[in-house]
Amino acid sequence: MNKPLRRIAIFCGLLVLALLVRANWLQYVDADELNTNDRNRRVLIDRYAYERGNIIVDGKPITGSVKTDHTDFAYKRTYVNGPMWSPVTGYASQVFGANQIEKLEDGILSGNSDQLFFDRTMSMFTGDEKKGGNVVTTLSGAAQKAAFEGLGSKKGAVAAMDPKTGKVLALASTPSYDPSSFAGSAKEDEKAWATLSAKDNKNKPMLNRALREVYPPGSTFKVVTAAAALEHGKVKDINDPTDTPQPYILPNTRTEMKNMSGGCENATLMFALQISCNSVFAKLGDDVGRDKMLETAEKFGFNDAELDTPVRAAKSRYNETMDRPGNALSSIGQFDTATTPLQMAMVAAAIANDGKLMKPYMVDQLVAPNLDVISKTKPQEMSRPLSGENAQLLQQMMENVVEKGGGKNAALGGGVKVGGKTGTAQHGENNAKNPYAWFISYAKTGDGSPVAVAVVVEDSGAERENISGGGLAAPIAKAVMKAVVDSKR
C-alpha cells in the first residue's frame, strides 16, 4: 500500500474509532442526562404515557391521573383540593414542567427511577402496565386544612412541624393556585399559566411563602435573643432585673429605642418577653455581641443555604458584618434580619424539644407500585441551639406570654400548655407599609410537644392600627395546634 492510501486508511480508521467512542459515550455516559432532559420530547411523552404515582397524606392520595384524548400524552395530572396542597405538591404540567415534590421525586412518581428497575422488569414478564411509585408525606390533613382555612383571604403562610422528629405537619401559603388548571396542553391551560406566572401579578400565587419568602420576624426573634443571653451567661435568672435604662439609646448613636408599652425599665427577662420590650432585647443583643448572637442564630438554622425538606427553603438571614447599632436592631427582629416561616417554626420547635433542633422533612417514605418501601426518612438531629435547662426557662417565658401577654388568643385549655410569642414587623421605606403580623408557638401535652407552629400574615386588609400578631396570627396558630393535638387523642 502506497503512502497516500495508508494515510487515508489511518484517517478513516480514526473516524470510525471516534464514532465508536462517541456512540458509547452517548449510550453509557450521557444517557441519564439525555433521558431526564426536559427538551427530550420522548421523555415527556413517556412521562405521561402511564398513570403517575401519587403523593399521599394520611394514607390517601392528594393527586391523581386522568385519561386524555391527546395524541402524545395519554394521561394528565390531577389534584385533590389543589390550592390547599400546592405548597406541598408543586405542579406537574405536560407543557410547563414540574416543581417541588413533583419534580424532586419525579423518578419515583413516573416509574423511571433506577430504584424501580425490578418492578419494570417484572411488568415486562407479567404484562402489567407500567406504574409510578408513591411519595408518602409527613403532612397532617387536619393541620393543613386548619392552616389554609385560617389564612383564608389573607396573604401569608403557615409552617408547622413535630419538634420531636422534624416531620413537617402543615405548609400553607396564600393566595394559592390550582396545579390542575395548567396540567394539560390545551389553550385553557396556557391561559391559566400566563395569568398565574405573570410578573405583574402582585399576589404571586405561585410563590411558596412558607418556604421561599423571607420576612422581618419582628418580636418573634426576641426568643432567639433570649436564648443567646441565657446561653452566653448575660442573664442568670429570668426573674432578675436586666439593668435596662429608660430611655435606652442605641449604641454609638443618639437614637432612642422606643417601646410600645410601659414598664420596660429594668424589666426582668420574663416580664420583658411578656410585654415585648424592645429596649430590653436590643440591650441584651448588644451585651451578647454580634458574633455570639450570630453563633446562636446559626445554631437555630439562620444563614443555612442548603435546608432541603426535600424542597429547598430560602436562606434565613442574620447579618454577619453589621455594626453595633445594627446588631441591637437585629436582636429585636428588625434591620437586616429576615426569615422564612419554616425557620421560625424551627425556633419554636427547638425550644419545645428542650434545646434539640431536628431537621425538618416532609417525605416519610418512597413506595414502589407493589407497595414495597424503597426508602424511609429517619429523623435527624440538626443542632443544639441551647441547653435543656435554658430551653425550659424559655418555655416558662413563652407560656407566660400566652397566659398573661399578647398570646392569649392561642390558648387551648383542656390541660394543654401553649407557649408563644407575638410579633409585628415593620417594613417598607420609613416603615410606611402595613406591618407583618407574626405568631410562633408550640403546644405541650403530658406526652411532650407534638407541634410547633409559625404564622405570618403579610396582608389582611385590616387597618394598620388593628394589625397585631396576637390578633391576626395567633388564632390561626391555635387552630393548627388544636388539629394536631386532637388527632393524637
Closest CA to 398 of 477, 301, 480, 302: 477
Q: Is the pLDDT of residue 210 over 70?
A: yes
Average pLDDT over residues 309-325: 96
Give the pLDDT of residue 314: 96
- Which is higher by pLDDT, 13 or 27? 13
Average pLDDT over residues 30-49: 67
Residue with cell 443542632: 383
**pLDDT surpassing 90 at residue 53:** yes
Active-site residue, selected from the candidate residues 180, 181, 219, 449: 219
| Residues near 418 by beta carbon (within 8 Å), at least 6 away in sequence | 399, 402, 407, 410, 411, 412, 441, 442, 443, 444, 478, 481
Straight-line distance from the first to the last Cα atom of the chain, in angstroms, rounded to the nearest whole number = 91
Mean pLDDT of 100-113: 91
Residue 175: pLDDT band (50, 70, 90) is very high
Whether the pLDDT of residue 52 is over 80: the answer is yes
Identify the band that residue 393 occupies on the pLDDT scale cut at 50, 70 and 90. Answer: very high
Check residue 267 and report its DSSP letter: -
Alpha helices (runs of H) in 90-186, residue ranges in sequence order: 100-104, 106-110, 117-126, 141-151
Q: What is the mean pLDDT of residues 130-134?
A: 85
Return the pLDDT at 38: 60
Q: What is the mean pLDDT of residues 190-216?
A: 94
Confidence band (pLDDT; 50, 70, 90) for 470? Answer: confident
Local confidence band at 182 (pLDDT 50, 70, 90 cut-offs): very high
Q: Quote the cell numbers at residue 326.
A: 445594627
DSSP-derived secondary structure for 158-227: EEEE-TTT-BEEEEEEES---GGGGSS-SHHHHHHHHHHH-TT-TT-TT--HHHH--B--GGGGHHHHHH
HSE, CB side, 13 Å, CA atoms: give it for residue 386. 34
CA distance 242 to 286: 13
Percentage of the chain lying above the pLDDT 70 cut: 90
d(CA 334, CA 324): 13
Give tens-digit pLDDT for 108-118. 998 887 776 55
Average pLDDT, the chain: 90
| Winning range, highest mean pLDDT, from 336-345, 431-440, 454-463 | 336-345
Name beta bridge partners: 419.
442
pLDDT number for residue 35:
60
Across the range 125-135, mean pLDDT stands at 74
C-alpha cell at 467: 394589625
Please give the helix or strand (H or E) that residue 57 lies within, else none. Answer: strand 55-57
Span 163-176, average pLDDT? 98
Cell, residue 320: 454577619
Is the per-residue pLDDT at 455 higher than 90? yes
Q: What is the per-residue pLDDT for 261?
A: 87
d(CA 350, CA 331): 18
Which of these ranges, 30-39, 86-95, 220-229, 286-295, has the smallest mean pLDDT?
30-39
> What is the H or E stretch that residue 44 is in?
helix 41-47
Nearest to 130 by CA among 105, 112, 106: 112
Of the given ranges (17-31, 98-112, 166-180, 317-331), which has the lowest mean pLDDT?
17-31
CA distances from 460 to 7, 312, 340, 441 (A): 80, 27, 18, 20
| 187: Cβ contacts below 8 Å, ≥ 6 apart | none
Q: What is the mean predicted confidence (pLDDT) over 273-285?
A: 97
Kindly give the pairing relationship between strand 381-383 and strand 373-376.
unpaired
Flag whether pLDDT at 28 surpasses 90: no
- Find the mean pLDDT for residues 99-104: 96
User: What is the rounded CA–CA span in Å between residue 161 and residue 65?
Assistant: 29
Please say if the pLDDT value at position 125 is more than 70.
Answer: no
Length of the chain measured in residues: 489
DSSP-assigned letter for residue 451 = E
Residue 105 has pLDDT above 70, yes or no: yes
Greater pLDDT, 49 or 180: 180
Mean pLDDT of 260-286: 96
Residue 1 has pLDDT above 90, yes or no: no
Distance CA 366, CA 106 (A): 11
Beta bridge partners of 441: 420, 453
46-55 in b/e burial notation, b at 16+ Cβ within 10 A? ebbebbbbbb
Q: What is the mean pLDDT of residues 145-153?
A: 97
Q: Helices 341-352 and 290-300: crossing angle, nearest 10°?
A: 90
State residue 124's pLDDT score.
Answer: 53
Q: Which domains does the chain have, with CATH numbers?
A: 211-366+381-488 (3.40.710.10)
Query: Would you state the pLDDT for residue 121?
Result: 58
- Predicted TM-score of the model (pTM): 0.90
Q: What's the pLDDT at 427?
A: 62
Joined together, the cell numbers standing for residue 277 give 420590650
pLDDT for the residue 5: 74
Residue among 383, 377, 366, 361 nearest 310 (CA):
361
Of 45, 55, 43, 38, the closest CA to residue 133 belongs to 55
What's the pLDDT at 131? 81
Residue 232 in this model has a pLDDT that exceeds 70: yes
Overall average pLDDT of the 36-48 stretch:
69
pLDDT value of position 30: 61
Per the annotation, the verdict on 460 as an active-site residue is no
Q: Is residue 331's pLDDT more than 70?
A: yes
